[in-house]
Amino acid sequence: MFHKEGYKIITIAFLISALASVSAHYLIENKFFEKGVLIVILILLGLILQFFRNPKRNFKLNNKEILSPVDGKVVVIEEVFEKEYYKEKRLQLSVFMSPLNVHVTRYPVGGKVVFSKYHPGKFLVAWHPKSSEENERTTVVVKSEEFGEVLHRQIAGAVARRIVNYAEEGQDVEQASDSGFIKFGSRVDIFLPLGTNINVSIDQTVKGGITVLAQK
């Protein structure tokens, strides 16, 4: 199963792959070299297909838990001053996604979207300390009954060149439903109230909509 954001790119990739394969057959006389070109084409097509995959998952929704919004690895757990929305100290968790991860962004909590904003910016590597403030990004805040206002921020990286954000202010959303999509690798920051009980550790691998990041 593939995500809707990949339909156009996958179609184009198939057409280009077919054209390249036919061209290689007629233009390359060396059969060994032709097979090498075909293998490269298949590998590139396979990478595109795996990037836009959207596997079905059995979500166990719980309004007393905060779920990971994306697949990846936890790279930051620290107390920071959040400048854009809260303008006060919060507990930040950051999940880094490689190009091999599923890139659907999911709502970590359910509730009402009270803030949604896109910021154009740079494309520093996603683990750069200033990437959360200077890179292209989207900030979404969902007000939940248990945790209050929970902010998650999609951040573009050096490879990611397009962030898709579905959140609209005033919209009621369900935990683990699609919040957005980041094309070709990046990271997501989650900002939680100080004192929140954290369930994960640095370098831990997490799954979007499955792994519990924190709970009451």
Helix, strand or coil, per DSSP, at residue 90: strand
**Using CA atoms, how far apart are residues 199 and 97, in angstroms rounded to an integer?**
19
Helix, strand or coil, per DSSP, at residue 213: strand
**Using CA atoms, how far apart are residues 179 and 163, in angstroms rounded to an integer?**
11
Told to judge if 17 belongs to the known catalytic residues of this protein, a careful annotator would answer: no
110 and 144 Cβ atoms separated by less than 8 Å: yes
**Using CA atoms, how far apart are residues 137 and 116, in angstroms rounded to an integer?**
11
Active-site position among 116, 132, 186, 201: 186
In the numeric block, the tokens 């920071």 are attached to 80
**Using CA atoms, how far apart are residues 144 and 152, in angstroms rounded to an integer?**
13
Question: In this structure, what token pair is assigned to residue 175?
Answer: 């935990």
Which positions are annotated as active-site residues?
A: 186
